[in-house]
Structure 1
Amino acid sequence: MDSAQLLTSGGLGAIVGLILALSGAGGGILAVPLLIFGLGLTMTEAAPVGLIAVGMAAALGAILGLREGIVRYRAAMLVSTFGIASAPLGLWLAHRLPDTPLMMAFAAVLVYVAQRMFRRARAEQKNGAPLPREMPMPCVINPREGRFQWTLPCAQMMSGTGLLSGVLSGLLGVGGGFVIVPALTRATDLDMRSIIATSLAVIALVSVGTVASASVAGVVRWDIGLPFGVGAIIGLLAGRRIARALSGPHLQQIFAVIALAAALSLLTRGARALLGA
């Protein structure tokens, strides 16, 4: 890799880390389009490289969250255990599906995430406050102990979230934050800072497991992944400072528009490949 590619890889990683710090859910899903359009990787090559950056940045964010005491580590361990178990299935599928349909499937997921985030942010702006959560929640904190009251519905929700995020990590190279954050928001009474920190812990653990499986299979571009990961860490640290000064709903809307543009670009590229085939 020449110096220009090295700088490009680091710069793209910084964008991922910045978004991850601001949303806890978006960096991973934008990593793959950035690698495809910025460095010309295929979908199969981009997926594990994206996870290297997402995993490194998420691990740092989770460590900082642990220091602040806002990571629910038991919940993170449960979700990530199921995620790591299901990630090899996603990897197996990714290397048996053609690149173009896989890219278009990724774009469809990106469209779903973008429109969901935009609608939620718009509703929050209209109400002037975060939307009320549905009751009852399966996972609530015991006020006397400060820990989750573990019930069967709570464990089922956590394990199901882990299984889905793991498959998507292996298949599409995403950290799964866009699954984890909404699940924790809908099913727990945690505040948003704790939800994001716990999500980062899960993303870090699942990403490590998925990248390890991909590395054993010999499909990881470490020459791109390492500078991409370093850039993501720098972006995450910068993003934590920026997040204190910016409005959450506005950030979510900006991210949603960027994600939708990336999805449309991927769909256009996939359609051209199919028509040219």
Structure 2
Amino acid sequence: MEIFGYIAALLIGLSLGLTGSGGSILTVPILVYLMRLNPVISMAYSLFVVGTTSLVGSYKFYQKDLVSFRTAMVFGIPSLLTVFLTRRFIVPAIPEHIISIGSFDITKGLLLMILFAVLMIFASVSMIKKKKYAVAAEEAEDHSPNVPALLLQGVTVGLISGMVGAGGGFLIIPALVLFSKLDMRMAVGTSLLIISANSLFGFVGDIFNYDINWSFLLAFSALSVAGIFIGSALSHRIHSDKLKTGFGWFVLAMGIYIILKETLLQ
């Protein structure tokens, strides 16, 4: 089963290289169901994988002058602090056994997997539907950044990323388009930089709490990064919008499967 996990690591970067987002949402399910890791440590490892992969992706956008560092700072600082505090203090404070309902035990791992599955469903909807927020931003009369909204969204993304180990690009990109008035390509590049900083900073909080298998983590991350270059090489041959829609339906199915597996199919 592990060999499929390493192959799937390529798909994380492949999706990022083809569409600019999306692949990181698969990292936790791959680590849990294919690599057989504990959900809590999987979410910690996911932060490193997502952070490293997104950093490479953001550099490719930077080379095309499609990263707004000023916006990344405004959005990123509250998000960085929130994700670090969440991983360092909030997640470790959740008890391993939360409550029992009859013969059904709600554990820390189960709770986090359900939260992650819900996040996958929301992310899939964002991938499937058309980006109406981009049209709304273009039609808005006021083109000045909404700093308070950016700060609030930064805290929200930091909390979500810290809890479930996902990048949160489906929340960041709309926020950058609507509240910072960036065009879509600039928003994607800036989002990747924010995701990278959030994820790697959050992972620092995990170093204090868990024993990290660095050899496995670096090998898995290297495959994910390799996928970015493969995806970028193929991106001009494949219609990214149709691909992202199809990938969104796959993520939706995975989210529903995780909820069923963790509750009814145990």
- Residue in structure 1 matched with residue 160 of structure 2 by the alignment: 168
Counterpart among 134, 140, 147 of residue 136 in structure 1: 140
| Pair 1:137–1:157, CA change in 2 (3 A) | farther
Task: Kindly provide the CA deviation profile for residues 20-58 of structure 1, in whole angstroms up to 9, marking residues without a partner as x.
Answer: 223333122211111111111222011111121111111
Cα distance in 1, alignment partners of residues 184 and 233 from structure 2: 17
Cα distance in 2, alignment partners of residues 14 and 137 from structure 1: 43
Shift in Å at residue 101 of structure 1?
Answer: 1.9
- Residue in structure 2 matched with residue 110 of structure 1 by the alignment: 120
- Residue in structure 2 matched with residue 72 of structure 1 by the alignment: 68
Cα distance in 1, alignment partners of residues 190 and 158 from structure 2: 16
CA contact (8 A) 1:181 1:196 kept: yes
Cα distance in 1, alignment partners of residues 140 and 153 from structure 2: 18
Shift in Å at residue 217 of structure 1?
Answer: 1.8
CA RMSD of the aligned region, Å? 2.3
Cα distance in 2, alignment partners of residues 174 and 80 from structure 1: 15
Query: Identity across aligned pairs (percent)?
Result: 23
CA contact (8 A) 1:137 1:187 kept: no
Residue 40 of structure 1 aligns to a residue whose secondary structure is: coil
Task: Kindly provide the CA deviation profile for residues 83-116 of structure 1, in whole angstroms up to 9, marking residues without a partner as x.
Answer: 1100134323333151112211211121122123
1:218 corresponds to which letter in structure 2?
Y
Counterpart among 91, 114, 122 of residue 94 in structure 1: 91
Cα distance in 1, alignment partners of residues 152 and 216 from structure 2: 32
Alignment of 1:248-263 (within 5 A): 248-263=240-255
Alignment of 1:42-57 (within 5 A): 42-57=38-53
Counterpart among 156, 178, 185 of residue 186 in structure 1: 178
Shift in Å at residue 221 of structure 1?
Answer: 3.7
- Residue in structure 1 matched with residue 219 of structure 2 by the alignment: 227
CA contact (8 A) 1:51 1:211 kept: yes
| Pair 1:61–1:131, CA change in 2 (3 A) | closer
- Residue in structure 1 matched with residue 169 of structure 2 by the alignment: 177
Q: Unaligned regions of 5+ residues in structure 2, if any?
A: 96-107
- Residue in structure 2 matched with residue 13 of structure 1 by the alignment: 9
Cα distance in 2, alignment partners of residues 40 and 77 from structure 1: 37
- Residue in structure 2 matched with residue 238 of structure 1 by the alignment: 230
| Pair 1:131–1:156, CA change in 2 (3 A) | closer
1:79 corresponds to which letter in structure 2?
F
- Residue in structure 2 matched with residue 83 of structure 1 by the alignment: 79
Shift in Å at residue 230 of structure 1?
Answer: 0.4
Of residues 76-85 and 243-252 in structure 1, the stretch that sits farther from structure 2 once superposed is: 243-252
Cα distance in 2, alignment partners of residues 90 and 137 from structure 1: 37
CA contact (8 A) 1:43 1:102 kept: yes
Of residues 183-192 and 82-91 in structure 1, the stretch that sits farther from structure 2 once superposed is: 183-192
Q: TM-score with structure 2 length normalisation?
A: 0.85
CA contact (8 A) 2:134 2:177 kept: no
| Pair 1:131–1:69, CA change in 2 (3 A) | closer
Residue 120 of structure 1 aligns to a residue whose secondary structure is: coil
CA contact (8 A) 1:65 1:197 kept: yes
CA contact (8 A) 1:45 1:219 kept: no
- Residue in structure 2 matched with residue 22 of structure 1 by the alignment: 18
| Pair 1:137–1:93, CA change in 2 (3 A) | farther
Alignment of 1:201-216 (within 5 A): 201-216=193-208
Task: Kindly provide the CA deviation profile for residues 169-200 of structure 1, in whole angstroms up to 9, marking residues without a partner as x.
Answer: 11100012121112123334433221111111
Q: Unaligned regions of 5+ residues in structure 1, if any?
A: 124-129, 141-148
Shift in Å at residue 136 of structure 1?
Answer: 2.3
